[in-house]
């Protein structure tokens, strides 16, 4: 038997047990929350537009991500940009999850959870602020109109970029921004998701 | 940080056995989270975590020794839901053989082979020379090979 055999067998003899590890993680998350050392808490939520990743700092909701963005990649980016103190800790996101559930079942028209805007800056952030404040449930606005609202009517492409890099989709409603020619336009969660959201809001 | 959870748990189990491993794991990650702002940006996180786990394991061992006179040897139970019975038996034998190694050998094998740290890091954690760490690990592996020859049994499925 070679050294490789022994080490491979050793790794097998001390196996990963995902359930057990999850339990330990949950306990750690509770302790970290209590001690104020949990910088980013996250959970996932199954919705009609797929599984969403929700992440919150102590200031508020900081990230909503579609599955198409790859949740592992998003978590790594959060660790790099905010803090590696990232843990699965659903309790910090209870309110957000409830409000999203209500939204997707047509029982909620706006979100009133605190938002942490730190992943968005400059003109993009101005655009997103206007989306959140000025385009109500069930309404849409064109990219040109949003550029105007944000104070720079020529920056139509930049509005598109702001929407495409929205760190808080669904909650900050970039899905309500459509093309001037009546086309639905792109969406970071996929055009199908955008259509689903607009249909949902039109029906209510 | 959490991506290293499985490795650290494996190391804690190897060095401490299953009963104390959970406590050592939890304390390792909680103190790592508290200490993280002091960590230099270019630090190797896994080596750092194993270093903390090493210290926690020593604390836990001392606390356990202080707490009570052991009535009997607690058997090391390996929980591997996917493994079949024969594998479980083999693994239990290996865990037993591993548990019987001198502590330095156990630590060197765990940190190098289970956590994948280079011997320079293992030596830094154990406080000896790189050669000493390499020798301890080699001695440990040699003992395992001697006392535990039946790992690769012929009827086992090829991998």
CA distance A9 to chain B (A): 7
Residues of A identified as active-site: 174
Buried b (16+ CB within 10 A) or exposed e, A18-31: eebbeebbeebbeb
Give the pLDDT of residue B73.
52
Q: Which range has the worst mean pLDDT, B11-20, B65-74, B95-104, B106-115?
A: B65-74
For CATH 3.30.160, the residue range(s) in chain A are 3-104
CB–CB of A5 and B6 under 8 A? no
Q: Full-prediction pTM beyond 0.95?
A: no
Distance from CA of B46 to the nearest CA of A (A): 13
- pLDDT exceeds 60 at position B152: no
pLDDT in tens, B38-95: 877 778 888 999 999 999 999 988 887 777 655 555 545 444 444 444 555 667 888 8
pLDDT band at B154 (very low <50, low <70, confident <90, very high): very low
Distance from CA of A14 to the nearest CA of B (A): 6
Residue B157 in any domain: the answer is: no
Report chain B's mean pLDDT, rounded to a whole number.
Answer: 81
What pLDDT is stored for residue B71 in this prediction? Answer: 52
For residue B67 the two structure tokens come to 């707490």
Helix or strand holding residue B3 (H, E): none
Q: How many CA atoms lie within 13 A of B39 on its CB side?
A: 22
Cα–Cα–Cα angle for B13, B15, B19, rounded to 5 degrees: 45
Q: Which fold has domain A3-104?
A: Double Stranded RNA Binding Domain (3.30.160)
Element (H, E) at A39: none
Encode pLDDT of A154-185 as tens digits. Answer: 999 999 999 999 999 999 999 999 998 888 98
The answer to the question of residue B156 being in a domain is: no
| A122-203 has CATH 1.10.287.3510 classification | no
- Locate CATH 1.10.10.10 in chain A: 122-203
Backbone angles phi, psi at B60, to 5 degrees: -65, -40
Q: What is the mean pLDDT of residues B11-30?
A: 91
Which structural domain, as residue segments, surrounds residue B106?
Answer: 2-147
Helices B18-35 and B5-16 cross at an angle (nearest 10°) of: 130
| Best mutation target, B4, B29, B44, B101, to test chain A (most A CBs within 10 A) | B29
What does the block give as tokens for A22? 């999850």
What digits encode the pLDDT tens for the residues A127-142? 999 998 999 999 999 9
Give the pair of three-digit tokens for residue A123: 């003109």
| Counted domains in chain B | 1
Q: Which residues of B touch A36 (CB under 8 A)?
A: none
- Position B25 pLDDT exceeds 50: yes
pLDDT score at B40:
76
- One digit per residue, the tens of pLDDT, for chain A of length 204 reads 577 777 788 888 888 788 899 899 999 999 999 999 999 999 999 999 999 999 999 999 999 999 999 999 999 999 999 998 899 999 999 999 999 999 999 999 999 999 999 999 999 999 999 998 999 999 999 999 999 999 999 999 999 999 999 999 999 999 999 998 888 988 999 999 999 999 999 986
- Alpha-carbon distance of A172 to A97, in angstroms, equals 15
In 3D, which of A160, A133, A130, A120 has the Cα closest to residue A144? A160
Inter-chain touch A16–B13, beta carbons under 8 Å: no
Query: For residue B27, what are the contacts with CB-CB under 8 A and spacing of at least 6?
Result: B56, B59, B60
pLDDT digits (tens, 9 = 90+) for A32-44: 999 999 999 999 9
Residue pair A184/A191 in contact (Cβ under 8 Å)? The answer is yes
């Amino acid at each position: 038997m070679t050294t490789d055999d022994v080490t491979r067998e050793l790794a097998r003899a001390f196996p990963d047990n995902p359930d057990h590890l999850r339990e330990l993680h949950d306990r750690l998350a509770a302790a970290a929350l209590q001690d104020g050392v949990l910088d980013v808490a996250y959970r996932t939520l199954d919705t009609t537009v797929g599984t969403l990743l929700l992440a919150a700092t102590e200031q508020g909701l900081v990230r909503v991500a579609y599955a198409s963005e790859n949740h592992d990649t998003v978590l790594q980016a959060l660790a790099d940009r905010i803090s590696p103190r990232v843990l699965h800790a659903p309790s910090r996101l209870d309110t957000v999850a409830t409000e999203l559930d209500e939204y997707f079942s047509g029982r909620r028209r706006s979100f009133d959870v605190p938002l942490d805007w730190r992943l968005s800056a400059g003109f993009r952030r101005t655009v997103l602020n206007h989306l959140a404040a000025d385009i109500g449930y069930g309404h849409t606005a064109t990219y040109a109109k949003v550029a105007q609202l944000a104070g720079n009517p020529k920056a139509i492409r930049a509005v598109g970029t702001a929407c495409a890099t929205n760190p808080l989709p669904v909650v900050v409603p970039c899905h309500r921004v459509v093309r001037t020619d009546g086309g639905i336009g792109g969406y970071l969660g996929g055009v199908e998701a955008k259509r689903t959201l607009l249909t949902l809001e039109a029906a209510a | 940080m959490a991506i290293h959870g499985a490795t650290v748990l494996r190391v804690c189990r190897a060095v401490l056995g299953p009963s104390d491993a959970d406590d050592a794991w939890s304390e390792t990650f909680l103190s790592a989270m508290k200490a993280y702002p002091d960590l230099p940006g270019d630090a190797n996180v896994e080596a750092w975590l194993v270093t903390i786990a090493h210290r926690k394991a020593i604390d836990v061992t001392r606390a356990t020794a202080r707490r009570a006179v052991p009535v009997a040897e607690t058997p090391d139970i390996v929980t591997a839901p996917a493994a079949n019975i024969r594998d479980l038996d083999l693994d239990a034998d290996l865990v037993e053989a591993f548990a019987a190694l001198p502590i330095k050998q156990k630590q060197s094998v765990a940190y190098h082979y289970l956590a994948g740290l280079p011997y320079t890091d293992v030596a830094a954690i154990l406080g000896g020379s790189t050669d000493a760490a390499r020798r301890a690990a080699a001695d440990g592996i040699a003992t395992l090979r001697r006392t535990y020859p039946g790992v690769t049994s012929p009827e086992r499925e090829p991998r």
